[in-house]
Structure 1
Amino acid sequence: MNTQFTITELAREFDVTPRAIRFYEDQGLLSPSREGSSGLRRVYSARDRTRLKLTLRGKRLGFTLSEIRDLLDVYESPTDTVPQLHAFLATVARHRDVLERQLEDLNATLEDLAQYEAQARVLLENGTRETRHA
């Protein structure tokens, strides 16, 4: 497996723009090394790739960049950091609650839509029958 990646490779793999990757770097979520005579060419490690993957997953789940940074720090820290683990669990619990409420709302909305759809189909069917019999 490749242990070094260019910004273009990561952008393509994760379907994000190089600008987004540079933004995450500016936010301290990624820390590529620099290569080339001018030091402008970014080289991302397997660690950076994993951090980008987790960052994008966290964003999809509604985590703030600050929360993602904290979670990444816990992910990479020794396992005996009790305060960090408590903070991690609190963040996860908050987001779980939000997602569960959103899921309940989505399920209720889907049920409402199914009822409206069924009613509309009945009205269409009745209207079609009445038109045929007229």
Structure 2
Amino acid sequence: MSKQTYRISDLANELDITTRAIRFYEEQGLLSPTRRGQERIYSAKDRVALKLILRGKRIGFSLAECKTLIELYDPQAGNQKQLNIMLGMIAERRQQLEQQLLDIQQMQLELDTAEERCRSALQALQEKR
């Protein structure tokens, strides 16, 4: 029984990313294809890892965080440890986003105040004329 393998172009087309991005993730130690001469041969595990990287990037995980999740990938064990750690990372990311949202709202208030002061100053100057 043959295990499913993928060429770099197969993964790039399927996941709508560049082959250069895939090679970058390989250089970072996130993927480990085998070689057949110059050709890279990716396993089903590499494909899953690449999907995890892309999903992680979309939700704001660093490559180091993605690497942690990939290293914990163990379908034989049901991925319980990986899933629990990912839940913790999601909670942490959500908290960061909530703080950023509060920071943005505070900045908007400060911009509103600065804008109002500028408009008032301009109006006062126009009234002096």
TM-score band by shorter chain is: 0.5 to 0.7
For residue 108 of structure 2, give the secondary structure of its aligned residue in structure 1. helix
Q: How many residues align?
A: 118
What's the offset of the Cα at 1:111?
1.3
Matched, 1:14 2:17: yes
Structure-2 change in CA distance of 1:17 and 1:103 (3 Å)? closer
Unpaired segments ≥5 residues, structure 1: none
Measured in 1, the distance between the counterparts of 2:120 and 2:46 equals 61
Task: Please give the TM-score of this superposition, normalised by the length of structure 2.
Answer: 0.67
> Which residue identity is paired with 2:126?
R
Distance 1:34 1:99 in 2: 36
% same residue: 24
Report how far residue 114 of structure 1 moved.
Answer: 1.2
CA distance 1:9–1:97, change in 2 (3 Å): closer
Letter aligned with residue 14 of structure 1 = I
**Structure 2: runs of 5+ lacking an equivalent:** none
Q: Normalising by structure 1, what TM-score?
A: 0.65
Match of 1:61 in 2: 61
Partner in structure 2 of residue 132 of structure 1: 126
Two-structure CA RMSD over aligned residues (Å): 3.2
CA distance in 2, matches of 1:9, 1:52: 9
Structure 2 CA distance for aligned equivalents of residues 69 and 4 of structure 1: 20
Task: Check conservation: 1:5, 1:43, Cα contact below 8 A.
Answer: yes
